[in-house]
Amino acid sequence: MSQSTTSIAIINKSAPYGSSNGQESLDMALAMSNFAQDVSVFFMDDGVFQLLLPQDPTTIDAKAYYKTFPALEFYDIENIYVCKQSLIQRSIQTSQLCIPVTLMEFDDLSKLLAKQQHLMSF
Amino acid sequence: MILHKISTSPFTHLALEHCLLRLHSSDGLLLTQDAVYGLRHQSLYSKLSELRCVYVLKEDAHARGVAVENDKIQLVDYAEFVELSLEYEKVMSW
Amino acid sequence: MASFTLLVTSAPFSEQSAYSAYRFALAAAQAKHSINGIFFYQSGTLNGSSLQITPSNEFDLYSAWKKLSQQYQVPLMVCVSAASKRGITTAEDAQDSDNPHFSLAAPFESVGLGELATLISNSDRLLQF
């Protein structure tokens, strides 16, 4: 089978550590980008907790995968969107996030996803 | 033109509520598995009734004894679910 | 006719989603659509365990996946990294790790995430369950 570039949105709705969703979503994003797919990453609802600093998962023997987020741009993943209302609800300022992000309103999601061919959510 | 597929009960999980916050007027909403209990949710039910395209997976609703008593909400079986996924540009699983 | 990739991220039996994916795949195949592949990721990889024993009066999803694969030539791909963390390994993995046990057998295949990228690129729709 031939392979052409497809745009994929990877949507994070889960907090880190309580489930494997965040870590396996990141693995997925890196792999898809590695295999020449155009990847955008979205964080909303509890997913925004994945970006919140400080974190020290060594206390629960979990992998500090949040340290990979700043490297996403080196994997050609440049479009990172975060739901503004999800941050506000959780009293999070953008300055507390581990990477620079683009904020989106509730009703931006559908518009942004409209540009993507496929969606995955974790 | 996204088909939003929900599969968890709105009495326990926030997926349906979170989806409704972000639903675009051209999007569709498909309730499957425990999400069919959304039809018994007093406050969300009125919101669902106002939407243009709400679908409920027939097999999952029948299994749970959940009846659809609203002309605006369409019961679809798996074959129709397949076609629905093609009518919309993409499917988001919440 | 359209082409589909299904991404199954849920464990069998504990939740309904993997079964829902099977029903969707069957309905799509019966409608003459093509299923490019079913990709099992996260806890979905547990669907690949050949060690599942289902009581005879319950629905045997493992056998159903195999039958679907054979009848409609649907590849059943299991993500190797997600699977190995969950005890889903092939005979080859078992040999490599000096472990006498393995749980993944044909028609399920152990593959990398690159296979999913290829499946998606060639599909009209991706559905996650």
Range of the domain at C101: 3-128
Probe site for chain B from A21, A109, A119 (most B CB atoms < 10 A): A109
Looking at residue A5, its pLDDT comes to: 84
* Beta strands at C125-128 and C3-8: parallel, antiparallel or unpaired: parallel
**CATH number of the CATH domain containing A84:** 3.40.1260.10
Q: For the segment B22-36, what is each residue's pLDDT rounded down to a tens digit?
A: 999 999 999 999 999
Whether C40 sits among the annotated catalytic residues: the reply is: no
For chain A, percent of residues with pLDDT exceeding 90: 91
**CATH number of the CATH domain containing B17:** 3.40.1260.10
Range of the domain at B8: 2-93
Mean pLDDT of B61-73: 95
| Residues 6+ positions from B40 with CB-CB distance below 8 Å | B66
Please tell me whether the interface predicted TM-score (ipTM) of this complex is above 0.95: yes
> In the structure, what pLDDT confidence band is assigned to residue B62 with cuts at 50, 70 and 90?
very high
Q: For the segment A9-56, what is each residue's pLDDT rounded down to a tens digit?
A: 999 999 999 999 999 999 999 999 999 889 999 999 999 999 999 999
**Main-chain phi, psi angles of A33, to 5 degrees:** -70, -40
Mean pLDDT of C73-84: 98
The number of distinct structural domains making up chain A is 1
Please say whether the beta carbons of A40 and A77 come within 8 A.
yes
Out of C7, C74, C79, C82, pick the active-site residue.
C79
> How buried is A92 (Cβ within 10 angstroms: 0-12 exposed, 13-18 middle, 19+ buried)?
middle
- Six token digits for residue C77: 């791909």
Q: Kindly determine whether residue A119 and residue C122, on different chains, have CB atoms separated by under 8 Å.
A: no
* pTM of the predicted model as reported, rounded to 2 decimal places: 0.97
Q: Kindly determine whether residue A31 and residue C114, on different chains, have CB atoms separated by under 8 Å.
A: yes
Q: For the segment A65-101, what is each residue's pLDDT rounded down to a tens digit?
A: 999 999 999 999 999 999 999 999 999 999 999 999 9
For chain A, percent of residues with pLDDT exceeding 70: 97
Evaluate if residue A1 carries a pLDDT over 60: no
Range of the domain at A31: 7-121
CB atoms within 10 A of CB C92: 11
Looking at residue A47, its pLDDT comes to: 98
Looking at residue A3, its pLDDT comes to: 57
Interface of A with B (CB under 8 A): 11, 13, 44-45, 85, 106-107, 109-111, 113-114, 116-119, 121
Task: Point out which residues pair with B28 in neighbouring strands.
Answer: B3
Probe site for chain A from C39, C121, C127, C129 (most A CB atoms < 10 A): C121
Q: For the segment B10-22, what is each residue's pLDDT rounded down to a tens digit?
A: 999 999 999 999 9
> In the structure, what pLDDT confidence band is assigned to residue B72 with cuts at 50, 70 and 90?
very high
Please say whether the beta carbons of A5 and A37 come within 8 A.
yes
Looking at residue A36, its pLDDT comes to: 86
> In the structure, what pLDDT confidence band is assigned to residue B76 with cuts at 50, 70 and 90?
very high
Tell me the C-alpha to C-alpha distance, in Å, between residue B28 and each of A37, A43, B62, B85, C28. Answer: 27, 22, 21, 10, 20
Looking at residue A65, its pLDDT comes to: 98
Q: In terms of DSSP H, where are the helices of A45-107? A: 84-89
- Asked whether residue A88 is domain-assigned, the answer is yes
In the predicted model, what is the mean pLDDT of chain B? 97
The number of distinct structural domains making up chain C is 1
**CATH number of the CATH domain containing C109:** 3.40.1260.10
The number of distinct structural domains making up chain B is 1
Q: Which residues of C72-85 are buried (b: 16+ CB within 10 A; e: fewer)?
A: bebbbbbbbebbbe
Q: Kindly determine whether residue B82 and residue C20, on different chains, have CB atoms separated by under 8 Å.
A: no
Mean pLDDT of C82-103: 94
Q: Kindly determine whether residue C42 and residue A32, on different chains, have CB atoms separated by under 8 Å.
A: no
Evaluate if residue A2 carries a pLDDT over 80: no
Looking at residue A110, its pLDDT comes to: 87
For residue C70, the surrounding DSSP H or E stretch is helix C61-72
Please say whether the beta carbons of B33 and B5 come within 8 A.
no
The beta-strand segments (E) located in chain C are 3-8, 34-40, 76-79, 108-111, 125-128
Mean pLDDT of C100-129: 97
> In the structure, what pLDDT confidence band is assigned to residue B81 with cuts at 50, 70 and 90?
very high
Instruction: Give the span between the Cα atoms of C2 and B79, in whole angstroms.
Output: 13
Looking at residue A114, its pLDDT comes to: 86
CB atoms within 10 A of CB C68: 19
Evaluate if residue A60 carries a pLDDT over 80: yes
- Asked whether residue A2 is domain-assigned, the answer is no
Q: Which chains are within 8 Å of B by 3+ CB pairs?
A: A, C
